[in-house]
Amino acid sequence: MITGNYKTRYQDDESIWNNWAKRWGFALSIVFLVVFPFVADNYMLLLAGQIAIFIIAVAGLNVLVGYTGLMSLGHGAFFAIGAYTAVAIHHEWPGTFPLITLVVSILVAAAFGVLFGLPALRVKGLYLAVATLSANFIVLFFIREHWFEEWTGGVRGTETPNAVFFGVELVSQQAKYFMIAPIMVIMLLFAQNLFRTRFGRALIAIRDKDYSAEIMGISLYSYKLKSFAISAGYCGAAGCLWAYFFPAILPEDFGLNMSITLLVCLVAGGMGRTLGPIFGTMLILLVPEMLKVIVSMVTDGDAMAQRYFSPMRDIVFGLMIIGFLIFEPMGLVNIWDRFWRFLSRWPFAK
Amino acid sequence: MGQFIQYLINGLISGSILALIAIGIVAVFKSTKVVNFAHGHLIMFGAYFYFTFAVMLPEAAFMPSWVAKWEPQWLLDYRGDAMMFSKEAAIATWVSNLPRILLGLVGALAANAVLALLIERLVMRPLLGQSIFAMILSTVGLIWVLEGAAGLIWTAEAEQVPTLGPNFPIRFELFGTNLFLFSASLVNFVIALLLFAGLMLVLRYTRSGIAIRATAEDQSTAYGMGINVPRVFSTAWLIASMTGAIAGAILASRTGLSPAMGLFGLSVLAVVLMGGLDSFLGVLIASMLIGVLEAMAQWKLGGSVAEIVPYVAVLVVILIRPHGFLGQKEIERI
Amino acid sequence: MLTVKDAELSFGGIKALDQVSFEARSGEITAIIGPNGAGKTSLFNIISGFYRPQRGQILFDNTDITRMRADKRANLGIARTFQNLALFRGMTVLDNIKLGGHIRLRSGFWTSGWFYGSAQREELALRAQIERDVIDFLELDHIRNAPVAILPYGLQKRVELGRALAMQPNVLLLDEPVAGMNREETEDMARFILDIQERWGTTILLVEHDMGMVMDLANQVVVLNFGRQIASGSADSVQHNPAVIEAYLGTKATQEASLQAS
């Protein structure tokens, strides 16, 4: 039970883990992340890697949508830019040190983020949604066309390299997991830090009341663009890891579906919260797996039934978005909060 | 020059269809302030319903045979005289198809109306008063529900659907060049523009039109003035679904059926933003412009470039005129 | 300190401000009054940079800031509260007030993201300063961790004042600080305003409808009507100015007033 507030220094009050539950929660998650690859099979590791990569991207989207309050339906494009940048780097300079590739992917994606962010200086809400959506289509168009085929492989897609650390090639899922998980943790902590200090507060201020933020001396132009750059950079990192994680990529992987999936993860998890992307992504990526299990149980692995799987998954996804918006617009994090509030007050109140 | 005019005509025809689709988005936005990202999927359902009622149902065993193929004696006589592939033959085919075309249209209109009312009741109304973000996302969610549902319901390979008008080539000469278009396209063009103009007049001059416009201005005041706002919402969705059903039928006869048709709606959304969300006239202009630009891109640069024309155009327009050609600028009060 | 010279602002054909000129003297409280729609908030908006006046100048310490961007004016030390609350509703009281410190902090993206080191030192210093100068001063300590959205109106107004105060402003613009408050809350607010003036010597501009408060607090009163400045001077002189009486009470009243005077 978390009772009163007995802190004697501002430093304690301002720290991320300002109570024991959070401290232990964090420690346990790290332990889980370390132990998991040794107990999981390949299929679970595949899922875990995918989830971790998505968490990074959704955390990036959270910076823009959740914290800055700017809408984007085009973050699949940044994902794509990150992935294809990684491929292009390895195509030009095979065996580049993976962290360098990662940084370059982030920078390239962030640069595109600034470019995409330009409409945000003039429009908000819906107009921005359509502008980013358009940008997504345009980026995919360029990836598909023959002009950059040498790096992108055009419509047919391209094979992707494996990461090589000091002569050790990361081939197995387990090895790749050990590259992805730490990067995810670091990037999440970075985002968390960002939003308890000056920089992040400014972004939240823009979300809550833009003209009021301006009065506080926050330049809307520069912060909106920076927000776009950061969130694009996160997606770029995710894209780069995606390229390392999977053997091949296709332009279709990063289309509207990807952009919307990212948004759905964010909404399901809870916008503007650090834990939101984690919860949301786990839910959204695990539901199809559960659905697969259910479908195969009901139909005994009937081949005909498999046909229905993909449309059914779409319907479940769509219903989940709508359901969350109607019944739990604050996302899973809100349920989580309620649970903890309940525990901390337990015998006395609900 | 001749080529240019040919593509201009093609562009105007597809522009008119864009406008017909756009009207649904504008009508819903004007009254409910919801921008329907799933409008394309509503149209896809319209197309599939048309296919169901105009192709699948007439071929069913329990239907009388004249529904699928109406062949009274006089029609047979008329066709007997006509040459193959001639204008008369095309008209004769159309007349014999007429029962199922009408059945298809009526069925599609009714089914789409029911669908729209369901969506409005079950999804949009609970979200009333929520943020723009929630509204956008819920229609995005609808995209997936509708796409999945279509995939579950219509598993059969889609076939050709009958065109709304008789289909024969028209050749004519203009400025010394030979031009060519299909009569069915011309019929589509006329239907689309008539519907567009008709709806504009309805909105401007009828009681329910004024109710819709009042609701667009201010929902709560309209409520206070005794306007049945929920009914206005339903009306708007009905308009959207029914124009969507006709647009779907037209699209199905032009380009065939596929679950991917819905994505077309997103490009129309771009067109709508270009014209200005709350302006019918602006949307008409934008539709025609995009139709022509797409046709020109098709001609000079190829099909894949034509596909992204609306998206590039909307980006440019938003950067220069954030509220589209004729959209109303919202003034923020501090 | 802050001078407005011949400011003119129009929207389409409507003149919101027409030849408004006054000087808010350093360390004094200048009240701007006028009937509804007189252009008081428009005047604040050109001072804080949301609108650009079509003609005229705004001088801050003799530098022309007429064309300066709104966010740059914050760096000069111009702070403001809004008529309709403009708090950051998703944040706690503490975070709202911390935003007032935005211009004084230096940490950027990298230092913020890394946190430990300079960003942490800066944040803790800010926290200590805010606790002392704002939270204790405005008696907000019991609600510092509450989300602002759940606070009653009067407290929200006070938080907004606190946020402006955290900017350590040279000039503080208060747009109807006691609108909609009861007598007790109004008295509290008046006391805070006087305390601010006394403690930091802040130049204060005040838009207010509560005449009692205006007459008690203001060193100088500027009266606007339909965008025109019809009077300015001490509270007393303005009170007896016929143009002001006319604007507030109509012509009949003016005649009566002049009859009484004669």
CATH number of the domain encompassing residue A302: 1.10.3470
Q: Are β-strands B177-182 and B169-174 bridged in parallel, bridged antiparallel, or unpaired?
A: antiparallel
Per the structure, the count of domains in chain B is 1
Non-local (6+) Cβ contacts of C48 within 8 A are A215, C70, C73, C78, C80, C173
Indicate the length of chain A as a whole number.
Answer: 350
Dihedral of the alpha carbons of C179, C183, C185, C186, in degrees to the nearest 10: 50
Nearest to C71 among A14, A209, A219 (CB): A219
pLDDT tens readout for residues C89-132: 889 999 999 999 898 888 888 888 888 888 888 889 999 999 98
Give per-residue pLDDT as tens, B178-233.
777 787 888 888 888 898 888 888 888 888 888 888 887 777 888 888 888 888 88
Residue among B325, B331, B323, B292 nearest B309 (CA) = B292
Q: How does DSSP assign B169-214, residue by residue?
A: EEEEEETTEEEEEEHHHHHHHHHHHHHHHHHHHHHHHSHHHHHHHH
Look at residue B232 and tell me if it is in a domain.
Answer: yes
Partners of residue C82 in chain B, C-beta under 8 Å: 334
Q: What are phi and psi of A289, to 5 degrees?
A: -65, -45
Size of interface A-C (CB pairs under 8 A): 115
Chain B CB contacts of C45 below 8 Å: 334
Stretch A302-331: mean pLDDT: 82
Q: Do A205 and C114 touch (CB under 8 A)?
A: no
Q: Which residues contact C174 (CB under 8 A, 6 or more apart)?
A: C80, C81, C161, C164, C193, C204, C205, C206, C207, C208
Predicted confidence at residue A349, as pLDDT, reads 62
For residue B123, is it within any domain? yes
B50 inside domain:
no
Q: Whole domain around residue A157: which residue ranges?
A: 40-344
The domain C2-77+169-261 having CATH identifier 2.70.98.60: the answer here is: no
Closest CA to A99 of A187, A26, A14: A187
Residue C253 pLDDT level (bands cut at 50, 70, 90) = low
C74 interface with A at CB cutoff 8 Å = yes
The maximal CA–CA distance of chain A, rounded, in angstroms, is 67
Q: What three-state secondary structure class fits C126?
A: helix
Strand-strand pairing, C228-233 and C171-175? unpaired
B123-150 mean pLDDT: 84
Contacts of B334 in chain C (CB under 8 A): 41, 45, 50, 82, 86
Please tell me what DSSP assigns to residue B330. Answer: P
Mean pLDDT (chain A, rounded): 87
**C203-207: strand order across its sheet:** C63-64, C55-60, C2-11, C14-24, C228-233, C220-225, C29-33, C203-207, C171-175, C78-80
C107 shares contact with chain A (CB less than 8 Å): yes
d(CA B216, CA A293): 47
**Is residue A25 one of the residues assigned to a domain?**
no
Residues of A with CB under 8 A from a CB of C: 10-11, 13-14, 190-191, 193-194, 196-202, 204-205, 207-209, 211-220, 226, 230, 272
How far is A32 from A42, CA to CA, in rounded Å? 17
pLDDT at residue B80 in the model:
72
Distance, in Å, from the CA atom of B259 to the CA atom of B16, rounded to the nearest integer, reads: 22
Q: Which tokens go with A184? A: 């995810």
Residue range C37-86, pLDDT digits in tens: 888 888 999 999 888 899 899 999 888 998 888 888 998 999 999 988 88
Return the residue of B nearest to C175 by Cα: B334
What distance in Å separates residue C243's CA from the closest CA in chain A? 34
Q: Any chain A CB within 8 A of the CB of C179?
A: no
Question: Average pLDDT, stretch A276-303?
Answer: 83
Comparing A318-327, B53-62, B283-292, the range with the smallest average pLDDT is B53-62
Residue with tokens 């962290």: A99
Q: Could you tell me the residue range of the domain that residue B297 belongs to?
A: 2-41+111-158+173-320
Cα(A31)–Cα(A39) distance, integer angstroms:
13
Asked if residue B254 is part of any domain, the answer here is yes
Chains that touch B (3 or more CB pairs under 8 A): A, C
Please check the confidence at residue C262 and state whether its pLDDT lies above 60: no
Name the closest residue on chain B to residue C85, using Cα atoms: B334
Q: Does any domain span residue A33?
A: no
DSSP string, B43-65: HHHHHHHHHIIIIIHHHSTTS-H
Per the CB < 8 Å rule, is B318 touching A122? yes
Name which of A190, A198, A230 is nearest C107 (Cβ-Cβ): A198
Please give the Cα distance from B290 to B268 (Å, whole number).
9
Residue A144 counted as domain residue: yes
Nearest to B100 by CA among B79, B73, B69: B69
Measured between CA atoms, how close is B6 to chain A, in angstroms?
A: 27
Angle at CA of residue C158, ends C157 and C159, nearest 5°: 90
DSSP structure class, residue C173: E
Residue B102 CB-density burial (10 A; 0-12 exposed, 13-18 middle, 19+ buried): middle
From CA B269, how far away is CA B249, in angstroms rounded? 19
A119 touches chain B (CB under 8 A): yes
Query: Which residue from C minimizes the CA distance to A189?
Result: C113
pLDDT at C207 over 80: yes
Mean pLDDT (whole number) for A22-30: 89
* Chains touching chain A, criterion 3+ CB pairs below 8 Å: B, C
Which residue in chain A has the smallest CA separation from B128? A326
Q: Which of A125, A331, A57 is nearest to B136 (CA)?
A: A125
Among A215, A218, A225, A333, the residue to mutate for chain C (most C Cβ within 10 A): A215
Please report whether residue B283 resides in a domain: yes
Please give, one letter per residue, the 3-state secondary structure of A43-79: HHHHHHHHHHHHHHHHHHHHHHHHHCCCCCCCHHHHH
Written as six digits, the tokens of A308 are 């229905």
- What number is the average pLDDT over the span A274-283? 92
Q: Which residue of C has its CA nearest to B332?
A: C50
C41 at interface of A, judged by CB pairs closer than 8 A:
no
Task: Report residue A104's pLDDT band, with 50, 70 and 90 as the boundaries.
Answer: very high
Integer Cα distance of B79 and C200 in angstroms: 98
Span between the terminal Cα atoms of chain B, in Å: 54
Domain ranges of chain C: 2-77+169-261, 92-163
Tell me the per-residue pLDDT of B76-99, one tens digit each, with 9 for 90 and over: 777 777 676 677 777 777 777 887
Lowest mean pLDDT among A118-122, A270-274, C169-173: A118-122
How many Cβ atoms sit within 10 Å of the Cβ of residue C54?
12
Phi, psi of B228 (to 5 degrees): -80, 90
* C-beta separation of C102 from C163 below 8 A: no
User: With contacts defined as CB-CB under 8 Å, which chain A residues touch C143?
Assistant: none
Q: What are phi and psi of B241, to 5 degrees?
A: -70, -35
Mind listing the pLDDT tens digit for each residue in C2-33?
899 999 998 877 888 888 898 999 989 999 99
Asked whether A36 and A163 are in contact (CB, 8 A), the reply is no
Residue A36 bridge partners (DSSP): none
Please report whether residue B102 resides in a domain: no
Provide, as residue numbers in chain B, all residues whose Cβ is less than 8 Å from the Cβ of C86: 334
- Give the mean pLDDT of B113-117: 92
The reply to whether C69 touches chain A by the CB within 8 Å rule is: yes
Q: Region A189-209: what's the mean pLDDT?
A: 90
Residue of C nearest to A209 (CA): C88
Q: At what angle do helices B132-153 and A256-269 cross, to 10 degrees?
A: 120
Examine residue B180 and state whether it is found in any structural domain, yes or no. Answer: yes
Q: Is residue A255 classed as helix, strand or coil in its secondary structure?
A: coil
Which residues of A fall within a CB distance of 8 Å from B136? 71, 125-126, 129
